[in-house]
Structure 1
Amino acid sequence: MKKLLIILGSIVALVVALLILIPIIFKDDIQKAVDDAIAKNINATVYYDRGGFSLSLIKSFPNFSLAIDDFGIVGKAPFEEDTLLSVASFGFEIDLMSVINGGQIKVNSILLDQPEITVLVLENGKANYDIAVASEEVAEEDTTASTAAFSVAIKSWEIRNANLIYYDESMKFYTTILGLNHSGTGDFTQDIFDLTTQTTVDGLTVNMDGVEYLSNKTLTADLTLNMDLPHAKYTFKENKIALNDFGIGFDGYVAMPTEDIDMDLNFSGSDISIKSILSLIPGVYQEYLAGVETSGSISFSGTAKGTYNENRLPDVTAKLDVDNGKIKYAEYPIPIEKLTIRTALNVPGENMDNMTFNMPTFSMLLDGETVSANLAFSNLQNYTWDFGLHGNLDLEKLLKVVPVEGMNLKGLMTADLSTSGNMKLIEEERYAEIPAAGSLSLTGFEVVSEDLPQGFSIKKTSMTFTPKQVALKEFDAMLGKSDIQLDGVVSNFIGFALSENETLVGKLNLRSKSFDLDEWMTEETAEVDTTAAPLEVIRVPTNIDFAFMSAINTIHYDGMEIKDLDGLITVKEGIARLNNIDFNLLDGAFVMNGTYNSVVEEPAFDFGFDISDLSIPKAYETFNTVQKLAPVAKNVTGDFSALLQLSGNLGADMMPIYEHLYGTGVIQIDDAALKGDKLMKTISAVSKFSGEEVTVKDVKLQVEIKEGRIYVDPFDVSMKGQKATIYGSNGIDGSLDYKISTVVKTGKVGSAVNAALATYTGGAKVIDETMLVKLKVSGTYEDPKVGIASAESAGGQSPAASVKAAAKAEIDKQLKAAEDKAKAELDKQKKAAEAKAKAELAKKQAELEKEAEEQAKKAAEEAKKKAKDALKKMF
């Protein structure tokens, strides 16, 4: 007996030893097999704690357990800095006998502890989860044999405290799932069994195209499915899904015996209330709902029945009804009462274009005032609608019952609107056949928000509706400190609201006593010199056709007062046109005509200016163009008038591209003086016969602007009583290239100057009483260079005649060439701008139409594919 016990003890010891030693002996081989499998199948960097790689037959005897700690996957370029997956611990338990016997391997459990998953999809569709190594196609018979010889059955699985981030740049889609816990059980070794799963999410956020549809919501899902694997039929049994407080239950089945998916599902709200619906509003759940009292009955139900395949979707219906609803906020005594809503959605799977949505009833009572509305919508191919809004609504009371963070709103709205029709009537401009009538008015309207701290208020406005137009009878408002009055008509408003390709047309009269633009400048902008503050290109909408007859008494901008502005401003096809816009500025009078074209990449302008009695020094202080092209104006006193035509392009900062600026015109100066600047001091120092002051009387300057320079035709000035003729050019870089011609009486200038003049006459001294002298001015305005270019006898002519005769011979050819070139260049630029604008507009419209058509097709195809894939993955 003792010997038998020794033998049995030895056997047990040997078995225990083997249980301990076998995992140790084979650990390196198994670890190498894991490494080889990773290298062979995964195109990414995989890491794990090699010391945390453990095998055991003791821990789960008689089963085999494997655990890997600190496991992770990092992608390769362009995702080499992004971790796709990191897991604190990954482990599973395998039925040892299933491995020994061969055939189907039974996995008793799988555990993922604290996984962190980040999924990224670039704009070009490349995804960081695409890490599988591409393999050659396997023959169909080999695949079948392999599948038959090797299969895995999982009984249970668990995910603990997972976080998932999904960001898809191609779809502008972003979601986060935080605090995910999920577990499931099901005996996949059986043909028919129940699959049970439990899921909770602490924070769910969904953002699409910058709109946050769900914000940090909780999710719970408890599902029990009966799995009929031989018939591929999955039947919902006990189940509940809840998003925040909004719960939904399912019953019915989904079957996939063939490529088609058959379903017969019913869903309905489970213990839902008005408060549970409000809980879905982003960003207000915790703060807002704590103080809300609600009551009333709600019913929510729907179905999804039919077949899903490449040719059709199942038929979907949904209904939401609210009866005798009430919403009361704790801090405001007046509730919304008698809230009644009836809605029904029907989406036929065979042709989704026949979808219908109907809300025949929406009504509520707010402090004794009833508001009601109805809406019906159908036919995606020929949008058909029926809409009505009736009653009085106090906006201040509404916002106290349903507050919006950061906004104060008040005003009484009175509406009596109704309209119905379809898009075909609009496309064919059969407006008279579209029933649309009613009126809308606002009184005492005020709104102040974080985005509009200056505030906007409407003392009174009223408008009436017909099928063809909206008639704005009155509109008396304050935008911050600025008053605005409008009246007129807006047409094609229905087509504009329902189609991206329709144009909103309006004819409005705009009046204001005082409009303060400075109020809308940010504090930072106001502190910076506005001549250097960066701006953004202003794009005029291409889908509006508006004409504004404007009359504004005073516009305040950057310390300036623009007075008595009136004229016609039209906006059409992305081009703004100014028609006889006249105003007073800096004690001068302006009349402007021209266009601003924002369709082209670099906005183009072509403006004509009629300026009267404008202060020259004030013009220099105010306008960038004067500072760039006429820096001498800084030290000139007096006024000027002008007729100018300027055209060119604007950069991204809305400043002219001076190298492309072109202009011609006439500047009239009645009486002006230049003194005390570096240029005059340099001329006086060189010539001795001119003073440090230039006076100008009754002069008309012919000017031309091109290629970053301003060219000035000859004009007369007085220099210390001596007449002189000036002509030439200067550039935006400050460079000077001018000639100054004058007749000098040699007896009055002194021996030093006579000696200098003699070098140009070939004689030892000057013989004639008068000499024609030409000075050349170069360098820059800040560092001018002046020298005597030539000197010759005046030939007994009068000073004025001598100067004019000398200048005329030099500039006659330049004038004719400049005139011809100016006309040709102007015509060329105008034609090019018009052609380019039309081409850009036509191209943009064609692209929009094509994109809309392609997106519609793509959306339908992707919806079908995603629905099918999602269902297959689920089951």
Structure 2
Amino acid sequence: MVKKILKWTGIVLLVLIIALFTLPFLFKDKIKELVIKAVNEQVDATVAVGDVSLSLFSHFPKASVSVEKLSVINKAPFAGDTLVYMGEINLNMSIKELFKGDGEAMQLESFSTKDGVVNILFDKDGRGNFDIALKNAEENKTEEEKASKPFALTIQEYKVENLKFRYYDERSKMRVVIDSLNHNGVGNFAANKLDLDTHTDATLTLDMDKVNYMRAVKLKLDAILGMDMDKSIYTFKENKAFINQMGLKFGGSVGLLEAGQQIDITFETLETSFKNFLALVPESYSGSLADVTTNGNFTVKGRANGLYSETTVPKFNIEFASNNASFKYKSLPKAVENIFIDTKIINESGVLNDTYVNIDKFAFRIDQDVFDANAHIRNVADNPLVDAKLKGTVNLGNVTKAYPVQLDVPLSGILKADVETKFDMKSVETGAYEKIQNNGSISLSGFNYKPDGFKSPFVISQANVAFNPSRITLSKFDAKTGSSDIAITGSLDNFYGFVFKNQNLQGNFAMNSNKLVVQDFMAAETTAAAKPAVTAEGEAKPAAKPATTSDAVKIPAFLDCTITANAKSVVYDNLNLTNVQGKMIIKDEAVALQNVKTNIFGGAIGFAGNVSTKGKVPTFEMGLDLSSLDITQSFTQLDMLKSIAPIAGVIAGKLNADVKLKGNLDAKEMTPDLKTLTGSLLGGLAGTSINANESKLLSTLQSNLKFVDFSKINLNKNLKIGFEDGKVRIEPFELKYQDISVKIDGTHGFDQTMSYNLAFDVPAKYLGSDISKLLATLKPADANNLSVPINAVLGGTFKSPKVTTDLKQSVTTLTNQIVQQQKDKYVDKAKAKGEELLGNLLGGNKNNNTNGTTTPADTTKAAAPKGEELKQQAKDKAKEAAAEAARNLFKKQDKKE
């Protein structure tokens, strides 16, 4: 009997185990269908589900359903925007719920989400992307369908992990980001009344119209909420909240009505110690509060009562107060004393625009430096009116001695302010500066700051700013860094628009300098330590070499300024510019240069152009007027000119040219990307001489072409050079050396590779003594008119040139030419002589004796040479002389090579 019982028990257990493994596969598709159906029946959006799984073991004896990668994507007018994304959703229910038929709701007992994102957007017309509920969906359903629900809630607990909530209103430019939200609650939702025990923590960032009010503020709330589900009233019971490190407690309730929310809430700080004020500051900036000794109090308390709806807000009164408080960090030498804070934010009508802010007093003292300010703001919603006063002195060097500000380098200097201002935001927005009332001044003296990476500190000996109704004037700004000095004066026309409305900063300035070293204002590249890589097996790979890092240069988009500059000396790398003057216009992420003039390289440069960093790749366009520049210095010290004409560095003389350039810039170095350079150079050389021995190219040419002394070529010519697609194209031009002419044509790349053709027209007399022997056989006039075309092809690079010539072929051509001339001369001579002899033989020259008788010819004498024999003799003689000259010439040429 026992065996039978054990046998059947074993069989039942086996069946149950098999069932537990197989049921998830049987119900998987059904549950996925229910999830999609539950969402699709309610929303007009695109819903996607990555995967659905069912487990009977993880929360046994409950069934656990996991939904992965659930997303809800908006349709028009927010087409493509993600409204909701959940990396993981877990639903827990009784196993019996899996066996319910169609139309029966599954009872959910708990749920959790993980790695979710919620995006709430309002467009400029006030439409929200969350308004996706199907219109008329309920009206079109049958009574049976209305009664049928995929899921029913009998939740006992829920949990949200790592949720990011984003909110953006295009009309008000309000942006709220609640990040790393973790929240859980325990309560019996099946009851009409329950106490929900909740725990919440998150970080909050708040921006309004590009102005940041809160950045990653830590929030924490542990609260028990009394919930009346029938009346929709939620009451604060036991609770404790923290804003960063400041503790608050809440009381009151929130009720949900058709018209909005009925709010009746009070709150106040848990303690009255002045540490509450420091606790508002993020710990990364305030340090450990355990290290602080405080005296006096700081309290925050408030009340809100009334209806929050589309047209009203609750009446509220929030107060921040401190009376003669002080604090001192034990690790720092100085204290902050005589701290007074009296601030109220009040609304007495329930109309948002009637809210006003009174900062009646905000004051403190560090050593002997006293700072005092007050401000009042009205009409906060429609057109804020601001009335503020600021007066005080702050020794910047004492700030870090009294407060643990983490600065990379210390500050020093005395800041004094005595300013009164009164304005409304519409005047700021519209530029009606005549309605803005300003008065007072701000000064900074003895300011000393050494930015990271800079060799020398930046020292402002004196800076004075005066405030008046129409503008803010920089009456003095004297500064030095390294060996550079600058003095600036000018004015800002819309300072308030820049500060409060993120408008462009408009101004006009004049800058003067005795010496300006550009390197003094540039940070050195920083070296980033390479992180050791890890193999798949977890072993550390050898660390890579440290990499240098530097940020791409961007011209600030907010600048709209004109600067007229005058500097006696400007040093840029190895360049020394004198008497630099011109105008610089900064606008729309670009700098335009106008009427810039400077003396350099024994001459002058005038230029105009622009540089823009607005696109992904910075660009430039510039025109240069080069006047009487020393050629050697220009083409050895200016990299761009060196790339355009590398050989010009061995030329002495003066350059006058008009240069037009445009192309891309290296984003970090802001130097031209030569591969993208296009433009032209049109100019001339004067008073030139050449040091051929300093050029590998000219030396190689000289060894191949002895008939030209390249150091004596006349280069006083006008040239036209074009550049595009990484190549420099020299328009054909002709040079003279004595009575030798050469035509030059070709291109070279900015990578220094070249392809040039040199076509020489060389008088034959320059081809050596052997050719001279041949020329001696010619008449002087014929010899002087005889020239030889010789071509030279230049390849390789300027540092490693390859030169090929057709000199041998040209000499052979010359030899044949001389042979032909000699042959023609002897043929003509022989022909003339033969004709004379033939005439004599035919009686044209008879011998008559004195007695009138004829003497017969002496037939025993040798006959005169025939015409054909004379012709052959002349040909042979010329051929022999030419061949001997050519042999001697080639022997010498071979020895030279």
1:567 CA drift (Å)? 3.8
Residue equivalent to 1:436: 438
Distance 1:499 1:200, change over 3 A: closer
Query: Which runs of 5 or more structure 1 residues have no equivalent in the other structure?
Result: 1-12, 57-64, 527-531, 794-875
Is the aligned partner of 1:328 residue 2:328? yes
Task: Give the 5 Å matches for 1:740-779.
Answer: 740-742=759-761, 744-746=763-765, 749-751=768-770, 767-771=782-786, 775-779=790-794
Going from structure 1 to structure 2, the CA distance change for 1:774 and 1:262 (only over 3 Å counts) comes to: farther
Report Cα offsets for 1:495-543 as digits up to 9, x if no partner.
34344445512122332434251672424699xxxxx999846536474
CA drift at 1:199? 1.0
Counterpart selection for 1:603 from 599, 619, 626: 619
Assess, with a 3 A threshold, how the Cα gap between structure 1 residues 660 and 85 changes in structure 2: closer, same or farther: closer
**Partner AA of 1:52 in structure 2:** F
Aligned to 2:608: 594
State how 1:398-409 maps to structure 2 within 5 Å: 398-407=399-408, 408-409=410-411
Letter of the 2:461 counterpart: K
Structure 1 match to 2:449: 447
Cα deviation, residue 415, structure 1: 0.9
Q: In structure 2, what is the equivalent of residue 548 of structure 1?
A: 564
Name the residue aligned to 1:813. Answer: none
TM superposition score normalised by structure 2: 0.68
1:89-108 to 2 correspondences below 5 Å: none
- The residue that corresponds to 2:397 in the other structure is 396
In the other structure, the counterpart of 1:477 is 479
1:73 aligns with 2:86: no
Match of 2:371 in 1: 371
Per-residue CA distance 1:737-784 (angstroms, 9 max, x = gap): 45445552537545569999x9xxxx9999441345555454535334
**Match of 2:397, SS?**
helix
Deviations 1:349-369 (A, max 9, x none): 987566543323211122133
User: Which residue pairs with 1:627 in the alignment?
Assistant: 642
Greater shift in the superposed pair: 780-789 or 728-737 = 780-789
Query: Between Structure 1 and Structure 2, how many residues are aligned?
Result: 731
* Alignment check: 8 A CA contact 2:316 2:347 kept: yes
Structure 2 residue identity aligned to 1:416: D
- Could you tell me which residue of structure 2 aligns to residue 672 of structure 1? 689
- 1:649 aligns to 2:650 (yes or no): no
Counterpart for residue 718 of structure 2 = 701
Q: Distance in 2 between matches of 1:509 and 1:489?
A: 12
Cα distance change, pair 519–498 in 1 and its aligned pair in 2 (3 A)? closer
Q: Which whole-Å CA distance do the structure 2 matches of 1:144 and 1:374 have between them?
A: 66
Q: Is the CA contact 1:92–1:111 (under 8 Å) kept in the aligned structure 2?
A: no
Q: Identity over the aligned pairs, expressed in percent? A: 18
Q: Measure, in 2, the Cα distance between the counterparts of 1:670 and 1:169.
A: 72
Which residue of the partner structure matches residue 510 of structure 1? 512
Q: Distance in 1 between matches of 2:640 and 2:150?
A: 81
CA distance in 2, matches of 1:673, 1:607: 28
Cα distance change, pair 256–753 in 1 and its aligned pair in 2 (3 A)? farther
Secondary structure of the structure 2 residue equivalent to 1:632: helix
How far, CA to CA, are the matches of 2:456 and 2:121 in structure 1?
39
Q: TM-score with structure 1 length normalisation?
A: 0.70
Letter aligned with residue 438 of structure 1: G
Partner amino acid, structure 1, of 2:370: T
Residue equivalent to 1:194: 194
Instruction: Identify if the C-alpha distance between structure 1 residues 662 and 351 changes in structure 2 by more than 3 Å, giving closer, same or farther.
Output: farther
| Partner SS for 1:284 | helix
2:57 to 52, 61, 65: 52
Cα distance change, pair 449–279 in 1 and its aligned pair in 2 (3 A): farther
Q: CA deviation at 1:596?
A: 0.7
Between the aligned partners of 1:169 and 1:311, the Cα distance in structure 2 is 20
Question: Does the 8 A contact of 1:588 with 1:615 survive in 2?
Answer: no
Q: Indicate the residue corresponding to 2:415 in structure 1.
A: 413
Deviation by residue 1:711-746 (Cα, 9 ceiling, x = unmatched) = 35645454xx66545443434354444544555253
Q: Alpha-carbon deviations, 1:414-464, whole Å to 9, x = none?
A: 111111122444566554443211111112222345576753222222222
Opposite residue 73 of structure 1, the aligned amino acid is E
- Aligned mates of 2:349, 2:68 — CA distance in 1: 41
Q: Which has the larger radius of gyration?
A: 2
* Match 1:38 to one of 15, 31, 36: 31
Does the Cα contact within 8 Å between 1:735 and 1:778 map onto a contact in 2? no
Contact 2:481 2:520 in 1 (8 A): no
CA spacing shift, 1:409–1:91, aligned 2, 3 Å:
same
Q: Distance in 1 between matches of 2:227 and 2:591?
A: 67
Tell me if structure 1 keeps the 8 A contact 2:490–2:507.
no
Change (3 A) 1:51 1:152: closer
3-state SS, counterpart of residue 297 of structure 2: strand
Write the mapping of 1:144-183 to structure 2, written as runs, cut at 5 A: 146-147=146-147, 152=152, 154=154, 156-157=156-157, 159=159, 163-164=161-162, 166=164, 177=180, 180=182, 182-183=184-185
Counterpart contact for 1:373–1:387, Cα < 8 Å: yes
- SS at 1:279's partner residue? helix
CA distance 1:123–1:724, shift in 2 (3 Å)? farther
The 1-side partners of 2:234 and 2:358 are apart by 33
Contact map agreement 1:674 1:695 (CA 8 A) in 2: no
Q: For the Cα contact (< 8 Å) 2:223–2:236, is it kept in 1?
A: no
Judge conservation of contact 1:487–1:510 (CA < 8 Å) in 2.
no
**1:623/1:72 Cα in 2 relative to 1: closer, same or farther (>3 Å)?**
farther
Amino acid in structure 2 at the alignment position of 1:232: S
The residue correspondences of 1:679-758 to structure 2 (distance < 5 A) are 679-681=697-699, 683-684=701-702, 687-691=705-709, 693-696=711-714, 699-707=716-724, 708-712=727-731, 714=733, 716-718=735-737, 724-732=741-749, 734-742=753-761, 744-746=763-765, 749-751=768-770
Once the two structures are overlaid, the 10-residue window that deviates more, 507-516 or 707-716, is: 707-716
Q: Deviations over 1:382-417 (max 9, x none)?
A: 453222210211122122212221341221111111
| Equivalent in the alignment of 2:44 | none
**1-side partners of 2:333 and 2:438: how far apart?**
37
Closer, same or farther: CA 136–374 of 1 in aligned 2, 3 Å? closer
Corresponding residue of 2:826? none
Identify the residue that residue 663 of structure 1 maps to in structure 2: 680
Task: Report the CA distance between 1:328 and its aligned residue.
Answer: 1.1
Q: What is the identity, as a one-letter code, of the residue corresponding to 1:666?
A: G
Match of 2:263 in 1: 263
> In the TM superposition, what whole-angstrom CA distance separates every residue of 1:807-834 from its partner, at most 9, and x where no partner exists?
xxxxxxxxxxxxxxxxxxxxxxxxxxxx
Cα deviation for residue 266 of structure 1 reads 3.1
Distance in 1, Cα, partners of 2:149 & 2:766: 122
**Distance change >3 Å, CA 510–CA 493, structure 1 → 2:** farther
1:247 aligns with 2:250: no
Q: Secondary structure at the match of 1:35?
A: helix
Shift of 1:279: 3.0
For residues 456-512 of structure 1, the C-alpha deviation after alignment (integer angstroms, 9 at most, x for no partner) is 222222222211233323222233553322233333333343444455121223324
Distance 2:236 2:773 in 1: 115
Kindly indicate whether the alpha-carbon contact (under 8 Å) linking 1:94 and 1:105 is maintained by their aligned counterparts in 2: no
Whole-Å separation in 2 of the counterparts to 1:233 and 1:163: 26
Say whether the 8 Å CA contact 1:593–1:608 is kept in structure 2. yes
Structure 2 unaligned blocks of 5 or more: 1-5, 37-47, 74-79, 124-129, 170-174, 529-547, 815-897
Aligned in 2, Cα 1:27/1:475: closer, same or farther, shift over 3 Å? same
Separation of aligned partners in 2, 1:472 and 1:110: 66
Amino acid at match of 1:246: M
Could you tell me how far 1:630 is from its partner in structure 2? 0.8
1:168–1:259 distance in 2 versus 1, CA, 3 Å: closer
User: What secondary structure sits across from 2:275 in the alignment?
Assistant: helix
Q: Distance in 2 between matches of 1:120 and 1:764?
A: 103
Q: Distance in 2 between matches of 1:255 and 1:678?
A: 91
Q: Distance in 2 between matches of 1:540 and 1:590?
A: 31
Q: 1:397 to 1:518 in 2, by over 3 A?
A: closer
